[in-house]
Every structure is written in C-alpha cells, then in structure tokens.
Amino acid sequence: CERERERERERDRWCRRRLLQELGEQRIPFLSPTDPGFQQLWDASYSGLALRQAGALPEGLHERVQSALTTLRRRGCLLRDLVRVRDRDVFTAVSRALVGQPGCTYRYLDTRLFTIPWHCEEDEGQTSACKALWELNQFFCMDIQQYKNARGLKRKHSESENSGSQEVSKEESGSEKAEKDQMLEEKGERLEKEERKEGEEDSDSGQGCSHSSPSQPSPSSPVHFNITLINYMDPTSMTQLKEEPYYGMGKMAVGWHHDENLVPLSPVAVYSYSCPGETKSEGKKEYEEGASRVKEEAGGDEGTSKEEAEKEKTCWRVGLKVAWDIHTPGLALPLQSGDCYYMTDDLNRTHQHCVLAGDTARFSSTHRVAQCSTGTLEYIQKRCSEALENIHTDPETGTKSLRSLLPATLQHIEDIHNEVEFEWLRQYWFQGRRYARFCSWWSKPMEGLETDWKEMERMTQLLLAVVEDENSVQENRRDMAETLLNALTDRQQHRQTWRDRVVSNSIESYSVWSNMVERYMVEHNKVKNNRLDINRVESNRVKSNRVDINIVKGLQGCE
C-alpha cells in the first residue's frame, strides 16, 4: 500500500514536470495594481482579500511591533523550520517563530511548533516584544470584526437594493492576454488536474482547511486569533529562491499554499514589515505616504509608468490564485512597510497564496485561529492521564499492574502512547529544543510528558509480560497479543522514520535525548528477544518462534 502511494506520488511529480515543460515560456496572466482591470479582478475573484494600509493602525503600534520583531530576531528566536515536503526534509526559506496563547501549538507540514507565550516572563526585552505582538493581535481581532460587520451590512444592503444584477463584468486584460488565455486553454484541463495533485501533496490542503467544516463559525462570531507565526527573510542572503512557476510573478519566499490547520472559515491577518534599505530610514513617513497609495493604484488604470510597474517588483508582494483554476488571472498585491492584509471568508480554502520577495529584508506576523483541539498542552496532559488510569500500583508492595486488559482499552492506550511520543516529545526534541534557549515555558511540561510516556512504556512492558505468560489464564491472550503486536510494529516503523530523519539531518540535541530515553523503549526487536510467539499464544499447532504479524492476520482469516 505504501509502495503504491509512493508510485502515485512519483507519477504526480512526473506530471507536474511535464506540464511545466509544456507551459514552457508561456505564463498564465496575473494582474498588479498598475495593470488595467486590477480592482475589478480583485472584486470579482478575490473579494475575501482586504488590505489595511499602514495608516489605519493606532499611533505608536508600528514602532512597538517593529521593534518587537527585530528583538525576537536579535535574540535568535527566529529559525528556519525543517519541514516535510513530499517525503523529504527541507528547510523553509523563511525563519520563523510561533508566538501565542500559552500551551498552544501549531502544526504545519508535519511540524509542530510550540508557542512562545504572548505573556512571556523571561526577560524584559522579550516580555515587551511579546506584549507588542499581543497588542497587535488585539487590534486585529477588533479590526477584522469591524471589517466583517461592515462587509455584512454592505452585502445585505446591495442584496436588497438590486437582486441579481450585481455581477461585476470582468474587464478584458488586453488582447495579448486574451490570446495567451486562449492558447493556455487547451493545456488548462491538464494543468488544473495537475494542480489539484500539487496542492494535496505540496502542503496543506490536508487536515486544517478541510472541505467539510464541523466547527464552522458563523460570519458574525467574534474572532480570537490564538497564535501568530512570525516570518523573516533577507533576500540578499538567499541565493536559491524559487521562481514562481505558473504566472512568472518573480522570486518566492514562500511557495503556493493554503494555510493549514486553521479553524474552518476563520480569517488570517498579516502585518508586513519591510526593513528599510540602505537609503530608506524614515519609517514613519512611509506610513503616511502609504495611506493614499492603494486607492490611487486601484483606480489608476491610466498614466502608470513603466517605472512604477518596475518599482512594484522591488516591493514584497503577496500573490494569490484561485485553486484548481488557470483561467482566472492571478493577483499580486504589493505591500509597503506597515501594511496589513486580511484573508477572510473562505479565501484560504478556495485560493492559494504565496509570498514574493522584495529587495530588502522583511518580517511578517501572521495571526491565525489555529485549530488546536488536539494541539494544546492541556489536551495532551489530559490524554496522558486517561492512559495512566489503567496502571495500578499496589500500595503495599509497589508492584504495578494493568487494571483492564480489554483489547479496546489497550488499543486506546497505545494510541495515546504514540500521540505523546510522536506528536509531542519527538517533535519538541527534533526542533533542537529551540525554545529552551530563550523561553523556558515548555521545559517543565515536556518533562512531565516524558515521565508519563515512560510510564506508558512500562505499561507496554506489563502487557507484554501478560501476553508472554504461558500460565496465564487470560482468555483473550491472543487478542491482546494481536493488539500489542500491531501497536509495536506500527511504532517501530514510525520510530525508524524519525531515526532516519535525525541521522540525515544530524540533529544533535535530538540524538542526545533519544539516547537518553532509548532504554525505556519497548522495541520490536526486544519483543523478538523475548520470543513473544503469537502461535504459542494461540495454540501449539504451528511451530514457529517468529513474531509474525502476517501469521496473526492469517489465523484471523481462518476463524
């Protein structure tokens, strides 16, 4: 099955390469503010996108936020993540840190990030940095609410005013572009198909922004951003930024993606801070000038010089495209320092976005409502307690035993065991315990989770002893053995994947940790040494001493 999946992935990769080859020098059109029809395109196909220009933020907030971002960077809190893309470990081009609600985590591209809490009590510099980001977060929560309300009202109003005739006609973007469109049409269907695959594989169409939305918030419910993912990149120190492949938008700092793991239909708010280059130092003046810029750009179809269009390219921009659609032109929105943009409604689900690098270094603070029903410390601690309820310690002898041996209970415990090991402990240590250097918040809780995990290893051992005990009178020994073997085989594979990742990336702190805890692990090979023999457990009919899960399955089939 795994081989099958791998073959399919390989096929997808091949298709993608072919289609890009076919596209050759041609590109799908995209519009920038200096292009005719930009605003119409925005209204018609990107209406979930909103720009809040720098001037709209409260006095003083820019300075506090920008100094917070530079402080975090100076203290080494921003690091490139080693994420998993198409079964490979790759470093993100941008350096990142997660700031947010204490105990909250955010998972993307198989990587769980742990928050530096908003209310951080490490040292003064850091405390005020986190506080400024919290303040920005508060502003976004309030402002996006107002924006949503205003939009709702406007929509209602226009609906009642003229029902039906609201379609904004898409302006032709020049005959050249129309011709290009036509040529691309033929290749369109295949590329669409291809893109679908890419999106699934590339990143994030997975868990978070699912198409069914169980906890859909109603449009008017208050927005509570619980985390911000901070990004930083200095393009002058990056030699290998990828070119945006479909539209020719330029160099990408972040490739096309949907944001993962968000509460369905929740908005995202982004603050963009481009560090002043050598010649620019009047940050404040920039905001003031920025205040009238986009309105002019939006309506300013005529009279825009080539120079301006060129200037746009030196700016950082956010790129947007409709997912699975090559007919609608893409959109590239330039961001001046201090500008913010919102992705609202279902924009994140129906569209993909990318970040196009400008000339200077740039930070962004991306505020999100992370789907953290299974991603908080409180959650995992509760799960661990649930598992540990099954262990009983004799108050007199101190001997430990398992309370229930029901396969369903055992399975449940093994699931929790995997969850704490792979989703928390290994994730934490794999990232080089990066937080510990500047934030001690997670150290104690992680120790606690490790203690619980060791106890779970103990439980696995106890179960093993029961299963191996030939004198045991347990009727369901065979079921128990099967549960245990399934769990161990699965865990063993998972551990191997992590070991491989660690070896190929030489993560030192992780190795130190895993060497330390290795002796607690009930390993498949140890089980072999202990000669857990499923056939002996079942009956003496088959004379094999091997632990062989296929035999278990075979026996089951015979029943």
The residues binding ligand AKG (CB under 6 A) are: 229, 231, 254, 259, 270, 272, 318, 353, 355, 364, 366
Binding Fe ion (rule: CB under 5 A), the pick from 143, 202, 259, 533 is: 259
Q: Helix H segments across 371-530?
A: 377-388, 407-418, 426-430, 434-438, 443-468, 477-505, 508-518, 524-529
Nearer to ligand AKG, 253 or 547 (CB): 253
For Fe ion, which stretch binds (CB under 5 A), given 210-218, 252-260, 398-406, 549-557? 252-260
Nearer to ligand AKG, 203 or 535 (CB): 203
Contacts of residue 431, Cβ cutoff 8 Å, sequence gap at least 6: 79, 81, 82, 111, 113, 114
> Least Å distance between CB 129 and Fe ion?
22
> Least Å distance between CB 257 and Fe ion?
6
Structural contact between residues 290 and 309, judged by C-beta atoms closer than 8 angstroms: no
The site partner of 92 among ligand AKG, Fe ion, none (C-beta below 5 to 8 Å per kind) is none
Q: Which of residues 334-373 bind Fe ion (CB under 5 A)?
A: none
Nearer to Fe ion, 318 or 552 (CB): 318
How many Cβ atoms sit within 10 Å of the Cβ of residue 292?
11
Structural contact between residues 93 and 104, judged by C-beta atoms closer than 8 angstroms: no
> Least Å distance between CB 69 and ligand AKG?
12
> Least Å distance between CB 212 and ligand AKG?
22
Q: How far apart are CA 445 and CA 75, in angstroms?
A: 23
How many Cβ atoms sit within 10 Å of the Cβ of residue 15?
16
Nearer to ligand AKG, 254 or 480 (CB): 254
Structural contact between residues 480 and 410, judged by C-beta atoms closer than 8 angstroms: yes
CA dihedral for 303, 307, 310, 314, sign (positive or negative): negative
Nearer to ligand AKG, 29 or 358 (CB): 358
The per-residue b/e assignment along 246-279, b for 16 or more CB within 10 angstroms, e otherwise, is bbebbbbbbbbbbbbbbbbbbbbbbbbbbbeeee
Structural contact between residues 115 and 227, judged by C-beta atoms closer than 8 angstroms: yes
**Span between the terminal Cα atoms of the chain, in Å:** 25
The site partner of 480 among Fe ion, ligand AKG, none (C-beta below 5 to 8 Å per kind) is none
The site partner of 364 among ligand AKG, Fe ion, none (C-beta below 5 to 8 Å per kind) is ligand AKG
> Least Å distance between CB 362 and ligand AKG?
8
Q: How far apart are CA 262 and CA 104, in angstroms?
A: 13
Q: How far apart are CA 492 and CA 479, in angstroms?
A: 20
The site partner of 344 among Fe ion, ligand AKG, none (C-beta below 5 to 8 Å per kind) is none
Nearer to ligand AKG, 184 or 254 (CB): 254
Strand partners, 273: 363
The amino acid at residue 90 is: V
Q: Which residue is nearest to Fe ion (CB)?
A: 259
> Least Å distance between CB 463 and ligand AKG?
42
**What is residue 237's DSSP assignment?**
G
> Least Å distance between CB 363 and ligand AKG?
8
Tell me if 202 contacts Fe ion by CB under 5 A.
no
The site partner of 270 among Fe ion, ligand AKG, none (C-beta below 5 to 8 Å per kind) is ligand AKG
Nearer to ligand AKG, 81 or 286 (CB): 81
> Least Å distance between CB 233 and ligand AKG?
9
> Least Å distance between CB 366 and ligand AKG?
5
Nearer to ligand AKG, 66 or 364 (CB): 364
Nearer to ligand AKG, 130 or 333 (CB): 333
The residues of the shown chain that bind Fe ion, judged by CB under 5 A, are 259
